[in-house]
Structures are given as structure tokens and as C-alpha cells.
Structure 1
Amino acid sequence: MLVGKVVAIIDDESKIRDTIKSYLQNEGFDTVEGDDGVAAVKLVKNQTVDLILLDVMMPNMDGFQALREIRSISRKMPIIMLTAKSEEIDKLLGLEMGADDYITKPFSMRELVARIKTVLRRSEPDSTEDPDELIIRGPIEINLNTYEVKLNGTLLSLTPTEYKILVTLAQKPGRVYSRLQLMNSAMGEAFANYERSIDTHVSNLRKKVEKDPAHPEFIHTVYGIGYRFGENT
């Protein structure tokens, strides 16, 4: 249920905040606002927020700095970066730092709402899954009910996208998934044109679950195709 979810709109341009606020409220969302990265961090610390729209270019503390601070507080907070830059390096930097998605200005309100709904849905456990089901692959334990992942008994902090990718791969060890298949599973068909960003999410995931990310034991690359989870784990 997405109605009543609280979206934080962090942008230094008041007209943009007002436009997004009006549209989101008409869609049934509640909103809070901030005009720089410092405000974003304070909101995460002091208020209940379900998703953050975080502009990149802002005074005092820019979006990348705020993203780093927020991720030190919460790895699971859904974050969508708003950027006027279209360079691929900026998009990948945001993903590498833990953003769940990005959208380039100017964007349509309809597309923005679709992105928000998709990120929020994948940040919640799948209600169709067995509430008592565990996926155990060697030292990795995934609880599909509590949305928790443990490695050797230690709780990991995964972003919603990383969690969905890991679940998809771990449910069927040995099966090869293309980047497009993983993108559809983790982010939905609307993101098919962004399938190369899966590489960044997988790289981040490996840093959390592999002893040596350069020589992965669990998440293997199938060159020219995509990824698979090791069969012997």
C-alpha cells in the first residue's frame, strides 16, 4: 500500500519542490521538504520518511555528500537522485554510493511517480513469498519474511535493489540471469534501458558478501550474458 507513504523532496529550487509536492500529494503521498543536503540528513534522523528524492547540485551539502551521510545512517532508505547532469559517470557514481535510482531533469511527473512507486515496492518484502521461508546458501542466510540477510550470522545492510538481486540469484543457484532479467526482477520492466547499471549494483553487493570481490565465491560473472549464483555454495 503506497498511499500515505512519506516522500522527502530535497532540492534547492522551491518551484521544483512545489511542483513535485503538488503532484505527489494528488497521488496520495505525504511529503516533507528540504533545500540542501544538511536538511536531508536531519529529516532521516528526526522524521519518519519512506523515500528521499535527492537533488545532486545543492549548496551547503550536495546530493552526493548527503547520500554518503544518509547511507551511514540507513542502508535501506530508498533514495532516488535528481540530477540535471546527463553524464553516465554521475549516474554511476550515485549508484555506487548506494542510490536506488536516478532521474535526469527535466522529467515528467508521471515518470517520477512511476519510479517512486517501483522503488517503494521493491523496498518491501514480497507478500507472495512464504513468510517462514529462508534461503540458506553456505554462510549466507536470507529471511524472506524479515527482509534480512546475514553472512556468518552477521546482519548485512543491503539496499532494496541489492536485496532483490541477491534473492533472485540465490533462489536458483547455477541459473544464468542476463542483465535485463535481473533488471526486470529488481527494478521492473520500465527500467529495461538501464540494464548496464546492474553491474554497479552487483559490484556493490559483492563488496558486502564476498571475502574477495575480485574472485567471487557466490556471485559469478558469465561473460557476455550476465550473472549466476554458485551451485556449490
Structure 2
Amino acid sequence: MVKRVLVVDDEHNLREMISSYLQNEGYETVEAVNGNSAVQAIKNDQIDIVLLDIMMPEMDGYEALKEIRSIQKKLPVIMLTAKTDEIDKIVGLEMGADDYITKPFSLRELSARIKAVLRRATNEDSDVDEDEILEHGEIMINLSTYEVFVSGKRINLTPTEFKILATLAQKPGRVYSRLQLMNAAFGETYANYERSIDTHVSNLRRKVENDPHNPTYIHTMYGIGYRFGGEL
């Protein structure tokens, strides 16, 4: 499911830059120019996480955070600010912010913070243990619900494909033989059909790789088997 990010900042260029980057990362974005419009957006739209600047006209980030928490206690909020004093960071966190990032920041770092906060929120809401959620690059695997998402979009896998992907992704870099993957997917009953794993892997690549012929995640180790090589 695509996550919707509310970007709240009175600096037009920064707001547009953040929104554009996050859209390229697979998010939907909603923009607000101050705390008042942010609160209205939360009342009117389904928002999954808020990026909230502190220094804004009409209603600053601290006041907006109070209003947001009165509406949705668990909505994830990351504070954005040019302030560097430790006390400002502490105030934001004590008021209920989930994270805090100081300007100037890299958009890549911001994206990583968003993923981390959303992951924590998902785990808290679903009571899923942290080790039941695997994230590698654009792929997220929920081991308890048997769901796979690529760039926020749910991908339909067969049970065999899911088992193969989960087995590989749980230990990135480890090389699995075809027989080991067959045992993981089917058990020892199907050990004599280990070459059929190539077909399953080929189908899996078509679903999760941007370029199945030049894979980012599922790599062939010629003469041995396969390994998972996605970014952590």
C-alpha cells in the first residue's frame, strides 16, 4: 500500500523538492504551508506520516504537533528544523514527535528516516516482531502476513515464490544451493526436482526486479545456486 506523506513547510522550494523526491521514491505527498493547513489536511485526508517544520507563520510546528496529537495520537511525525540546540530537539520529542532532523539534510537521509519511523509504527500497530519485517532496498517482506511490497506496491507471489524470496532475504549474501531452496520451499519430498527452482526464480525476478535480466536482488551463483544481494 502506497504511503501518503504530509510535507509541512513554509519554504515553497524546499517543500516542492521534498515532495518531488518522495514521489520518485514511491510515496504520495500532500503539502501544507503552515500548521493550520497541516491540521486541516490531517482532518480531511488519510495521512500516514507527517514531515513538520517548526518555524512557520500563523501556527508553528510545536503548536501544530499539539493539535495533531489531539486528533491522532499515533500518527508518525518527523520534525524538520534549522534549529540545532539540543533543547529544541528534546522539546519536540517530549511533545510526541517520533524523530527529528536538522536542516540542511540530505533527501536520502530523510527517506531513510521515514522508512524507519513507518516501520516502527507498522510493528506497533500490528504487534509484529521487528524480525518479521524484512526491508531491502525497494522490497519489504512481511513474514507473518506473507505479503511483499515493491516500491510500496503489493506484489502477488505464489507460496513457493514467497518462500524462496523470504529464505534468501533473511540472510543476504549467503549462497543457497538449489537443493537448499527446494527444501526450504517444499521440504525434502521434492528434493529430486531441485532444477525446477530455476523456473520459480525466473518468475520471481519478473515480479520483484526492475530489470530481471540484470537483477539487483536475486543473483545467480553459477554452478552453485542463488544469493540475495539487495541493499540493507
State the TM bucket, normalised to the shorter chain.
0.5 to 0.7
Residue-by-residue CA offset, 1:14-73 (whole Å, 9 max, x unaligned): 100111011100100000000000011101111100000000000000000000011011
Instruction: State the match for 1:18 in structure 2.
Output: 16
Amino acid aligned to 1:77: L
Instruction: State the match for 1:97 in structure 2.
Output: 95
Shift of the alpha carbon at 1:128?
4.7
SS at match of 1:93: helix
Identity %: 62
SS at match of 1:123: helix
Amino acid aligned to 1:49: I
Aligned mate of 1:5, from 3, 6, 27: 3
Aligned mate of 2:78, from 73, 77, 80: 80
Amino acid aligned to 1:28: G
Q: Larger % of helix: which?
A: 2
Cα distance in 2 for partners of 1:32, 1:102 equals 20
| Structure number with bigger Rg | 2
Instruction: State the match for 1:58 in structure 2.
Output: 56
Cα distance in 2 for partners of 1:28, 1:60 equals 31
RMSD: 1.8
* Higher deviation after alignment, 119-128 or 15-24: 119-128
After the TM superposition, which residues 1-233 of structure 1 pair with which residues of structure 2 at under 5 Å, given as runs? Answer: 4-124=2-122, 125-128=126-129
TM-score normalised according to structure 1 size: 0.53
Amino acid aligned to 2:117: V
Cα distance in 2 for partners of 1:75, 1:98 equals 8
SS at match of 1:41: helix
SS at match of 1:76: coil
Amino acid aligned to 1:111: E
Cα distance in 2 for partners of 1:53, 1:72 equals 17
| Number of equivalences | 129
Instruction: State the match for 2:202 in structure 1.
Output: none
For structure 1, the residue ranges without an aligned partner over 5 or more in a row are: 130-144, 146-233
Amino acid aligned to 1:109: L
Amino acid aligned to 2:34: D
